[in-house]
Amino acid sequence: MDSFDLFEVAGAQLRLSSHAVLLHGFALPDVGELVPAIADIEAASPLRHMVTPGGLPMSVMSTSCGMLGWVTDQRGYRYTSVDPETRKPWPVMPEAFASLAIRAAAEAGFPGFEPDACLINHYAPGARMSLHQDKDEQDFAAPIVSVSLGMSATFLFGGLERSDRVARVPLHHGDVVVWGGADRLRYHGIMSLKDAPHPLLGSERINLTFRKAG
């Protein structure tokens, strides 16, 4: 008898919550365009371990593209129009990035998304992101779109209070998640990555996070 794996159906949508949707494999058709564009951005605004206001370097390495880039240093978290390392504007957001984010947002029920910031996070084995809220943006009405590439990770999906119980959601190469509305300020994080090399990207996970920050 024929059989197929439910979790391998391209285009499957998993509703994580009222305003949070996982679009399984949604970015796969764009990977060939995304990966070289990421390399170009990182040639202009190099990856760096940013330092939290508490003075500790983050385990992930980051850069940005778009009109605004998210930064953290001893002075705090904020968005800037200039990369503090290069003292130049962040690289322009590639059309393929914006297009993917806008299509994913619309698919998840958020038409008219206008991302002005794309944070690029690189995770090596052992890198993690502890539970936090994204609240450095001007307007919480816009959704956030996240694109996962390379090694799989376990996403931690919490509630509106740090102490709320946390769901674990596996995120794979090509997955896109969209959060808005009531879910926009949920606590979230990424568990320490285990080393399970990906055929295209090796021992690395890349996450693109699109936001309307300004």
Site for ligand MD3 in 102-131 (CB under 6 A): 119, 121, 129
Cβ-based nearer residue to Fe ion, 134 or 137 = 134
- For residues 101 and 78, the answer to whether their CB atoms sit within 8 Å is no
- Cα separations in angstroms, 213 against 20, 26, 118, 138: 19, 23, 9, 6
Determine the distance from the C-alpha atom of residue 199 to the mean position of all C-alpha atoms in its chain, rounded to a whole number: 20
Question: Using the rule CB under 6 A, which residue among 190, 204, 212, 213 binds ligand MD3?
Answer: 190
Cβ-based nearer residue to ligand MD3, 90 or 179 = 179
Residue 207 binds which entry of Fe ion, ligand MD3, none, CB below 5-8 Å type-dependent: ligand MD3
- For residues 16 and 188, the answer to whether their CB atoms sit within 8 Å is no
Question: Using CA atoms in the order 74, 78, 80, 84, what is the torsion angle rounded to 10 degrees?
Answer: 20
Q: In this structure, what are the phi and psi dihedrals at residue 67, rounded to the nearest 5 degrees?
A: -65, -30
Question: Quick one: 66 exposed, middle or buried, by C-beta within 10 A (0-12, 13-18, 19+)?
Answer: buried
Q: Which region among 88-96, 102-110, 160-168, 182-190 touches ligand MD3 (by CB under 6 A)?
A: 182-190
Closest approach, Cβ 164 to ligand MD3, in A, equals 12
Q: Does 45 bind ligand MD3 (CB under 6 A)?
A: no
Strand partners, 147: 176, 208
Q: Does 175 bind ligand MD3 (CB under 6 A)?
A: no
Positions that interact with Fe ion (CB under 5 A): 134
- Beta-sheet pairing, 167-171 with 129-132: unpaired
Question: Quick one: 207 exposed, middle or buried, by C-beta within 10 A (0-12, 13-18, 19+)?
Answer: buried
Cβ-based nearer residue to ligand MD3, 63 or 146 = 146
Cβ-based nearer residue to ligand MD3, 3 or 191 = 191
Q: Does 61 bind ligand MD3 (CB under 6 A)?
A: no
Q: Does 188 bind ligand MD3 (CB under 6 A)?
A: yes
Residue 100 binds which entry of Fe ion, ligand MD3, none, CB below 5-8 Å type-dependent: none
Residue 145 binds which entry of Fe ion, ligand MD3, none, CB below 5-8 Å type-dependent: none
CA distance 68 to 47: 16
Q: Which residues of this chain interact with ligand MD3, rule CB under 6 A? A: 119, 121, 129, 134, 144, 146, 177, 179, 183-184, 186, 188, 190, 207, 209
